Structure 1
Amino acid sequence: MAVYLVQHITNTKPAIDLAIAFYSKLQLSLLKRCINCWVDTKKNSVFYLIKASRKKTIKKLYYKSTNLHPHKIVPVNNHLVYAFLKSEQQLKMIQSQFVFKTQEHTTLFIAKTINKYVLLNNLKKNKTRNALLYKKTVIKNLIHSYNGNQINTNNKDYIASFPTFKKAFDCSLAIQKKLQKRVNYISTKFILYPYSSELNIKTSTSNISKIIDLLYFVKTEKQFILSSQLSKNHSFQNHFTEKENISYCVLKPENENFLFSLLDVISENYQNPDFSIPDIASLMMMCKTSLYRNCKAVTGSSINQILKEYRLLKSISSIASKKSDISQISIDVGFNSLSYFSNCFKKKFGITPSAFLKQQNNFNLS
């Protein structure tokens, strides 16, 4: 049986995690046929050594994988295998660097109101404002009650860290049950994610921003979302009962990694109006067909819609902070035309960018 070197091109940490997770799955099914896995940062690659009778056998391993495809599969001789095995970057070292040890970290809690601005413009404004203020009070009070530490960011979502997973989990359930009784017409989503309070402020804020984006784009009708990294280490099913009527989902690791990789690519390039779908596919190391299929499966939207919505979400933040005029903001978020930006914005939020800017002083709901 020959030994093959399998190379995966990886430009981001989530892409590395995805490749390593796939290798770990292969280990369970192939046993001793998986020899080793390591990261080569200079080549932006993750490499596997796998025993197989022929190259086609390895290709078949990827047939059911929509998120990962090898860049190269080449046979290697025994001398090269020995050299590879002497590599200092072993799988255990990689896993300790990239995988959260959740028992040593606090848990991050994020609560996000979906389509707040649509509500403000399509329902009675006073009723909606009062409901949002009630929600704000409930969330802040319960975070304090469960020993949470509210994190101050420029975002208008509710973010807190908890000393344990259980505290964060129980606080989320308490908030949901209280809001369902009085303001169930306001759609609020929650996500729990492993979080290190040891990170510096800049890194911490960047990570939180990415998780908020993931919460917005992930495809689910459920109110309560758990990171796959947390679900591996905690038994939470016992907390749910039929009487509580709480809907929840656990993110699949491959979907979580794909979304983070996609949002990383978009966040670094969305301001460029010439940034296109082929560019995204190239940076993701995927063909356009796979990119479209994965986006639809994970988010329910096309890649074109995701890019446009990402730009609109960033414009909301810019308008709310009043950093620039509407024309400049439309350019800053990657729109070529002010009129097209205004039309997309109104279609999404039910209000024009100019009207939204005027409205900010009247609705201080952060």
Structure 2
Amino acid sequence: MPIYMDRHDVSETVTAEHVAKLHIEDIKIEHLFGCKGLTYWFDEHRKMAFCLIDAPNKEAIEKMHNHAHGEIPHKIIEVDNIIVESFLGRIADPEKAANELLHCIKNPAFRTIMIIGLKPLSLKDGIKDSKNIPFQKLYNTITKAVTDNVGSVVRKNSKSFLVSFQSVSKAIECAMHIQSNAIAFSKTNVGITIGIDAGVPVAEADGFFEATIKSAQRMSDFVKGNIVVSAEVKLLYEQENPNHTIDLSKIRTVNSAEEKLLNHLIDYLDQSSQRTDLHVAAFCTELGLSKSQFYRKLIKITNQSPNLFLKSFRLQKSLQLLKSKKSSISEVAFEAGFNSPAYFSKCFHENFGILPSKYLQKQTS
């Protein structure tokens, strides 16, 4: 059977003991609905509970909760048990709770999510593979920094790491350590960008930690700065470390208004970048900003003008299309929003140091 995670937003008066009792009530009658409760997380501070349940479908979970105690989940999503364990560290009750009659668990599911982007400075040489000693040392340095700061690597490849932390402070320490070592590995032809955000596994989106991962990814990809964090991460860090503040000379903080604008813009581009007639005026209309306002805000966030940002976005999209090897160069050019293959090849060469035809040959060789 599939596995689901649900989210319950509870009132301020609810305690961990209350949630444990509701969990016991579920277990008593779960068999009537073909369900099996695996474990749960409760966040006393944010007043959220998350249940992990083996069930035939979402409807069975709703019926089970309703029959047991009447507390219907606010959201239910299907999840993968391996991914859940990678992010949250377990898919069963903690050993101590499993041995207690009440199964009282005070373990929040809130996590700090880090995206470490490894970007080639020139595609002519590319990111070296695992056989290249400088790159392998860099890769090992990143892996060790994550481990030393009690992070969990959810996914990694030659282009990025996706990491989960329970502690905001440990995530920041990890990022600082990685960037302090980046200069020593300049021979790898790779630039390192880090985006950090924090959130819960089940939010408004349908994916597991989807909104938080997307935010961290976009900060890593588009915001100027080697380490970029959300306003919430900055606040949480300073709450955990009352005698310290984030060093703004080393870490860029994206405020909530900037984050909202960036997400709105990227969502719009994801849907519209293939339009060859897309111009800055369309951005302004979509975002409700004047040309001068949009220019000023985008420069501050990305250090790029609107036209340059649009071209960079299209080039990154073209790179993904070329890597898929499913389209010709002409098809990639138009799908990415360029009005001619010749202009696309010119822009690609200026930005990446190699013609798309040569890059495609390197991919297939």
Are positions 1:112 and 2:121 aligned together?
no
Aligned pairs (5 A) from 1:22-41: none
Aligned amino acid, residue 348 of structure 1: N
Are positions 1:268 and 2:301 aligned together?
no
- Going from structure 1 to structure 2, the CA distance change for 1:138 and 1:217 (only over 3 Å counts) comes to same
User: What's the RMSD between the two structures over aligned residues?
Assistant: 3.7
1:164 offset after TM fit, Å?
A: 2.0
Aligned amino acid, residue 357 of structure 1: L
Are positions 1:211 and 2:216 aligned together?
yes
Residue 190 of structure 1 corresponds to 194
- Going from structure 1 to structure 2, the CA distance change for 1:165 and 1:125 (only over 3 Å counts) comes to closer
Offset from partner CA, 1:116-159 (integer Å, 9 cap, x none):
151x5379979995433322222233323433222338993221
Aligned amino acid, residue 236 of structure 2: N
> In proportion to residue count, which structure has more helix?
1
What is the SS of the residue equivalent to 1:151?
strand
Residue 71 of structure 2 corresponds to none
Structure 1: distance between partners of 2:170 and 2:288: 40
Alpha carbons 1:240, 1:246 under 8 Å: kept: no
What is the SS of the residue equivalent to 1:295?
helix
Q: Taking every aligned residue pair, what percent have the same amino acid on both sides? A: 24
Larger RCO of the pair (alpha carbons < 8 Å, separation 6+)? 1
Offset from partner CA, 1:14-62 (integer Å, 9 cap, x none):
xxxxxxxxxxxxxxxxxxxxxxxxxxxxxxxxxxxxxxxxxxxxxxxxx
1:339 offset after TM fit, Å?
A: 0.7
Aligned amino acid, residue 259 of structure 2: E
With normalisation by structure 1, the TM-score equals 0.60
Structure 2 counterpart of 1:121, from 121, 124, 128: 124
Alpha carbons 2:317, 2:336 under 8 Å: kept: yes
Structure 2: distance between partners of 1:338 and 1:177: 41
Residue 162 of structure 1 corresponds to 165
Structure 2: distance between partners of 1:216 and 1:196: 22
Offset from partner CA, 1:273-298 (integer Å, 9 cap, x none):
22222221111112223222222233
1:207 offset after TM fit, Å?
A: 5.2
What is the SS of the residue equivalent to 2:114?
strand
1:335 offset after TM fit, Å?
A: 1.2
Structure 2: distance between partners of 1:249 and 1:267: 25
Structure 1: distance between partners of 2:127 and 2:274: 35
Structure 1 unaligned residues grouped into runs of 5+: 1-96, 98-102
**Stretch of structure 1 that moved more, 197-206 or 165-174:** 197-206
- Going from structure 1 to structure 2, the CA distance change for 1:313 and 1:205 (only over 3 Å counts) comes to farther
**Stretch of structure 1 that moved more, 329-338 or 188-197:** 188-197
Structure 1 counterpart of 2:334, from 331, 334, 354: 331
